[in-house]
Structure 1
Amino acid sequence: MTIVITVCLSFAVFALIFWGLMHMRTPRFRMERAQFLHGLEDAITGQADDNEWRVLIGYPMRHDPPLERLRLECQKIEEDEYTGGSPYLFTDKGLSRLRAVREQLLALPPEDESKPE
């Protein structure tokens, strides 16, 4: 009798765990424009470290196509001008290109206006 109870309880626990795992959502990292701007400004002013830069350009931004284009532009700048030095991670030319990306970001319409209705 105890074996039957143990098997039933084990089955119930595993079923509950399986059900919970099936209904969990995967966590998603979603960077907003203000966060991207802050990270970009940190890189320009020499306050960003390599980890902050990797987080800034490492995640696709499918929720905001204009921001994704700027992220890809930052990746191109990294390929050409990244030094990884301290305090500035980029050459002077790279910093000026990052400033241009910053200006493009500031010129973007607010997110709610850029989405089609």
Structure 2
Amino acid sequence: MTILITLLLSFCIFALIIWALMHMRTPRYRVDRQDFLKVLEDVIVGQADDSEWRVLTGYPMRHDPPLEKLRLECLEIEEAEYTGGSPYLFTEAGIERLRGVRRRLLAANSENDNDK
């Protein structure tokens, strides 16, 4: 009888664990426009490190197509102008191009604010 209760209890616990694992969601990381702007500004002023830049450019932003377009542009700038140095991760030309990305992001944000 004890073996039967142990087996039944073990089966219930195992089934509960399987059910919980099936209903768990994988964590998602979403960069919103404010986060994108903050990291971009930190890179421009030389306060960002390589890992912050990798987080910014490493995740596709399917939730915001205009932001994804800017991310892809940042990747193009990285290919041409990235130095990985300290404190500035980019050449002067790269930083200037990133300032242009920042201006377009601010303009897009202000357009969204006006639409609301």
**Shorter-chain TM-score tier:** over 0.9
1:49-60 correspondence to structure 2 within 5 Å? 49-60=49-60
Q: How do 1:21-40 and structure 2 match up within 5 A?
A: 21-40=21-40
What is the aligned partner in structure 2 of residue 80 from structure 1?
A: 80
Whole-angstrom CA distance in 2 between matches of 1:78 and 1:2: 66
CA deviations 1:6-38 (Å, max 9, x no partner) are: 110110001000110111111110111001000
Per the normalisation by structure 2, the TM-score is 0.93
CA shift, 1:110, in A, is 2.0
Matches within 5 A, 1:1-117: 1-108=1-108, 109-110=111-112, 113=115
- Aligned residue pairs total 113
Moved over 4 A (4+): none
Q: Distance in 2 between matches of 1:59 and 1:13?
A: 37
1:2 Cα deviation (Å)? 1.0
- For the aligned residue pairs, the C-alpha RMSD in angstroms reads 1.4
State the percentage of identical aligned residues.
70
Q: Which runs of 5+ in 1 are unaligned?
A: none
1:19-74 Cα shifts (integer Å, max 9, x gaps): 10111111110111001000000000000000111111111111000000000100
Secondary structure of the corresponding residue to residue 110 of structure 1:
helix
SS in 1 for 2:75: helix
**Which one has a larger percent helix, Structure 1 or Structure 2?**
2
Q: What TM-score, normalized to structure 1?
A: 0.93
Counterparts of 1:96 and 1:102 in 2: how far apart (Å)? 10
